[in-house]
């Protein structure tokens, strides 16, 4: 099962403040432990919302809204994509994430990622399943270090 651990932004990350060297070191150790356990698929920090854009749809038309998103209640600061055996294991990994002292405004979401492998064989036409598999294989080949 794939899960995404989503780290929420707080006032400091939205201001573009860099984490302390201690937190960076702790994050590197955390990422190394995920990799050593063979569960890490991807993980990245994100720039503040001032560097992003949102696309909203209304009446069948798209509108681009430039950041920052000061009215948004929850913004994302980073993510980890992991492959584990259960929801409980994903939560265990999320609970190990290092947080800054005090942890004010820090929150994590743990979401199960829908995967084509989760669709029963008889509910997806063979042609569609094959196209999905070809696309995923192509993505694996183009990944750095692959």
How confident is the model at residue 144, as a pLDDT? 53
19 and 75 part of one domain: yes
120 and 88 part of one domain: no
| Tens of pLDDT, residues 14-32 | 888 888 899 999 999 999 9
Q: How far is CA 40 from CA 9, 63, 73, 104, 134, in A?
A: 21, 35, 28, 26, 22
The total number of structural domains that make up the chain: 2
Q: Which uninterrupted H or E stretch holds 136?
A: helix 126-142
92 and 70 part of one domain: yes
80 and 128 part of one domain: no
Query: Bridge-partner residues for 97, per DSSP?
Result: none
Which SS3 state, helix, strand or coil, does residue 7 take? strand
| Tens of pLDDT, residues 85-118 | 999 999 999 999 998 777 676 789 999 998 777 7
52 and 71 part of one domain: yes
pTM attached to this predicted model: 0.78
CB 87 within 8 A of CB 4: no
- Sort 113 into a burial class: Cβ within 10 Å, 0-12 / 13-18 / 19+: middle
38 and 103 part of one domain: yes
Mean pLDDT calculated for residue range 41-62: 94
Range of the domain at 128: 116-146
């Amino acid at each position: 099962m794939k899960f995404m651990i989503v780290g929420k932004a707080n006032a400091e990350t939205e201001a573009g403040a860099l984490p302390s060297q201690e937190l960076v070191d702790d994050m590197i150790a955390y990422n190394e432990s995920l990799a050593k356990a063979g569960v890490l698929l991807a993980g990245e920090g994100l720039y503040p919302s001032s560097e992003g854009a949102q696309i909203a749809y209304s009446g069948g038309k798209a509108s681009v809204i430039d950041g920052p998103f000061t009215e948004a209640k929850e913004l994302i600061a980073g993510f980890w994509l992991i492959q584990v055996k259960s929801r409980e294991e994903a939560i265990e990994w999320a609970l190990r994430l290092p947080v800054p002292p005090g942890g004010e405004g820090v929150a994590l979401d743990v979401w199960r990622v829908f995967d084509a492998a989760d669709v029963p064989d008889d509910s997806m036409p063979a042609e569609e399943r094959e196209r999905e598999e070809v696309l995923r294989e192509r993505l694996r080949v183009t990944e750095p270090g692959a």
